[in-house]
Amino acid sequence: MDRIILHSDLNNFFASVEAAKNPLLRGKVFAVAGDPEKRHGIILAKSQPAKELGISTGEVIWQAKLKCPDLILVKPDMVSYHRYSKRVHEIYRRFTDTIEPFGIDEAWLDVTGSTRLFGSGEEIARKIRHAVKEELGLTVSIGVSFNKIFAKLGSDLKKPDATTIISRDNFKAVVHPLPITALLFVGRSTREKLERYGIKKIGHLANADPNFLKNLLGKNGLLLYHYANGSDIGSTLLSQTPPAKSIGNSVTTAYDLTTEQEIRIQLMMLAEHIAARLREQNVAGALIHISIRDRNLRTITRQKQLELPTNHAPAIADAAFSLFQQHYDLSTPVRSIGIGVGNLSSDTGNLQLSLWDPEHKRVNEQNLDHAVDHLRNRYGFNCVVRAGCLHHQLKNYTLTNDPQAPSSLCTLPGCRH
Ligand SMILES: [Mg+2]
């Protein structure tokens, strides 16, 4: 029996999230750009009206401004993009457990085993599009096919907010007239090689001599031949990414830190992000580790075990600060600092909260965490900030994922998640 594979692609993802967050941007000609203050920043995403004016991803701001002088530019907010991406994946998970992410805004879903519950592949695609639009205000284009390659190709054919079906019956009519670059893995150099021999369309690939393709492109040539003919060899769907073993963040501050108060505030800011990520994944960790790099680039790492696991920012910050006080004397200023939380478990029934809190206060703290998570999901991470961190100069910092926590979920450069 054929598998039923969906490939779901969020349309104009970064720009759509910005419009979902800020109603004033809806329907406007705007783009998300790497560094809006610099003329040479790059356009990372554009709204649908901007797309219609010819603004394209990857072009530099001054070029885009030539096409559209009134183009509104928005800074990227990776924290929100990750949160939205996760919420979209939660919707996917209602329909299947077999999901293979492809970047932040695309994923394959194997729904072969889900049709009795939810209907045909086309019906599931419709339900996903509806849920994503209703619940998150975003649109997706979905390709439905019997293999990953055609599902991916299908999601590119109609945009935005559309479903494309590529079946065994119609794939020759739909896919074969398309240029070879519509096929995943056909980049510029492969295209140039194939075009030299008149192979310009996917149908040409499908009808070429497989030995010729193998001689021209090696193994990849054979693979492309099979893809063009609708066989999906070697492209099994991965299931969910494995859960993280630890979650951490580190920061290199704008200036070296010299006082305990600065360290404490910095640790609190890191702990806030880490705790939110732990709660988002419904996990808690009992191993707290810190890494400190001094002005001379000497790094030390220390760790301690808590009695109970935690996903509460003050408990993480307290443990990290006590480690710092025990192991570092501040005679050399600190250049960067990081926290990781390990030994993660999904048992979040009995958590370590602030070390000195009486029992009744714990419930309040947990309720507060949930309320803050809820607000941040809706209005962005920085809508709630601890008063102690609010006006501090340390706000001007760059947060990076902690190299000590390689299995943390976020790997995008510049991501603060
Ligand atoms: Mg996309």
Q: How far is the CA of 29 from the centre of ligand 1 (A)?
A: 18
* 288-311: average pLDDT: 90
The answer to the question of residue 21 being in a domain is yes
On whether both 257 and 184 belong to a single domain, the answer is: no
Q: How far is the CA of 8 from the centre of ligand 1 (A)?
A: 8
Q: How far is the CA of 262 from the centre of ligand 1 (A)?
A: 40
On whether both 339 and 296 belong to a single domain, the answer is: yes
pLDDT score for 354: 54
The answer to the question of residue 68 being in a domain is yes
The 3 state secondary structure assigned to the chain is: CCCCEEEEEECCHHHHHHHHHCHHHCCCCEEEECCCCCCCCEEEEECHHHHHCCCCCCCEHHHHHHHCCCCEEECCCHHHHHHHHHHHHHHHHCCCCCEEEECCCEEEEECHHHHHHHCCHHHHHHHHHHHHHHHHCCCEEEEEECCHHHHHHHHHHCCCCEEEEECCCCHHHHHCCCEHHHCCCCCHHHHHHHHCCCCCEHHHHHHCCHHHHHHHHCHHHHHHHHHHCCCCCCCCCCCCCCCCCCEEEEEEEEEEECCHHHHHHHHHHHHHHHHHHHHHCCCEEEEEEEEEEECCCCEEEEEEEEEEEECCHHHHHHHHHHHHHHHCCCCCCEEEEEEEEEEEECCCCCCCCCCCCCHHHHHHHHHHHHHHHHHHHHHCHHHCCCHHHHCCHHHCCEEEECCCCCCCCCCCCCCCC
Q: How far is the CA of 387 from the centre of ligand 1 (A)?
A: 37
Enclosing domain of residue 287: 247-401
Q: How far is the CA of 246 from the centre of ligand 1 (A)?
A: 29
β-strand pairing of 162-166 with 247-257: unpaired
Please tell me whether the peptide bond between 243 and the residue prior to it is cis, using omega within 30 degrees of 0. Answer: no
- Annotation marks residue 18 as catalytic: no
Share of the chain above pLDDT 90, in %: 55
Which is catalytic among the residues 100, 106, 262, 280? 106
For residue 332, name the pLDDT band (cuts at 50, 70, 90). Answer: very high
- State the CATH number of the domain containing residue 28: 3.40.1170.60
On whether both 263 and 374 belong to a single domain, the answer is: yes
Place of tokens 């889900």: 114
On whether both 202 and 302 belong to a single domain, the answer is: no
Instruction: Provide long-range contacts, Cβ within 8 A and 24+ apart, for 321-328.
Output: 321/263, 321/264, 321/267, 323/288, 323/289, 323/290, 324/263, 324/267, 324/290, 324/292, 325/260, 326/302, 327/292, 327/300, 327/302, 328/292, 328/300
The answer to the question of residue 233 being in a domain is no
The answer to the question of residue 195 being in a domain is yes
Q: Are 316 and 271 in contact (CB under 8 A)?
A: yes
* 46-54: average pLDDT: 93
pTM score of the predicted model: 0.59
On whether both 307 and 208 belong to a single domain, the answer is: no
The answer to the question of residue 92 being in a domain is no
For residue 375, name the pLDDT band (cuts at 50, 70, 90). Answer: confident
Q: How far is the CA of 141 from the centre of ligand 1 (A)?
A: 8
Annotate 65-100 with b (16+ C-beta within 10 A) or e (fewer).
Answer: eeebeebbbbebbbbbbbbbbbebbebbeebbebbb
Domain total in the chain: 3
The answer to the question of residue 362 being in a domain is yes
The answer to the question of residue 265 being in a domain is yes
On whether both 222 and 256 belong to a single domain, the answer is: no
More confident residue, 388 or 133: 133
Least confident of 135-139, 352-356, 373-377: 352-356
pLDDT score for 415: 32
On whether both 273 and 312 belong to a single domain, the answer is: yes
On whether both 288 and 328 belong to a single domain, the answer is: yes
pLDDT score for 392: 56
Check whether 242 has a pLDDT greater than 70.
Answer: no
Instruction: Compute the distance between CA of residue 290 and CA of residue 132 in angstroms, rounded to an integer.
Output: 38
On whether both 269 and 375 belong to a single domain, the answer is: yes
On whether both 222 and 339 belong to a single domain, the answer is: no
- State the CATH number of the domain containing residue 181: 1.10.150.20
pLDDT per residue as tens digits for the range 151-184: 999 999 999 999 999 999 999 999 999 999 999 8
Check whether 297 has a pLDDT greater than 60.
Answer: yes
For residue 78, name the pLDDT band (cuts at 50, 70, 90). Answer: confident
pLDDT per residue as tens digits for the range 195-214: 999 999 999 999 999 999 99
Domain boundary (55, 78, 101) is at: 78
pLDDT per residue as tens digits for the range 183-199: 988 888 899 999 999 99
pLDDT score for 282: 77
pLDDT per residue as tens digits for the range 85-143: 999 999 999 999 889 888 889 999 999 999 999 999 999 999 999 999 999 999 999 99
Q: How far is the CA of 9 from the centre of ligand 1 (A)?
A: 5
- State the CATH number of the domain containing residue 321: 3.30.1490.100
Check whether 343 has a pLDDT greater than 80.
Answer: yes
Domain boundary (199, 228, 257) is at: 228
Q: How far is the CA of 258 from the centre of ligand 1 (A)?
A: 44
Q: Report the mean per-residue pLDDT for the chain.
A: 85
On whether both 259 and 374 belong to a single domain, the answer is: yes
The answer to the question of residue 415 being in a domain is no
pLDDT score for 350: 57
On whether both 301 and 375 belong to a single domain, the answer is: yes
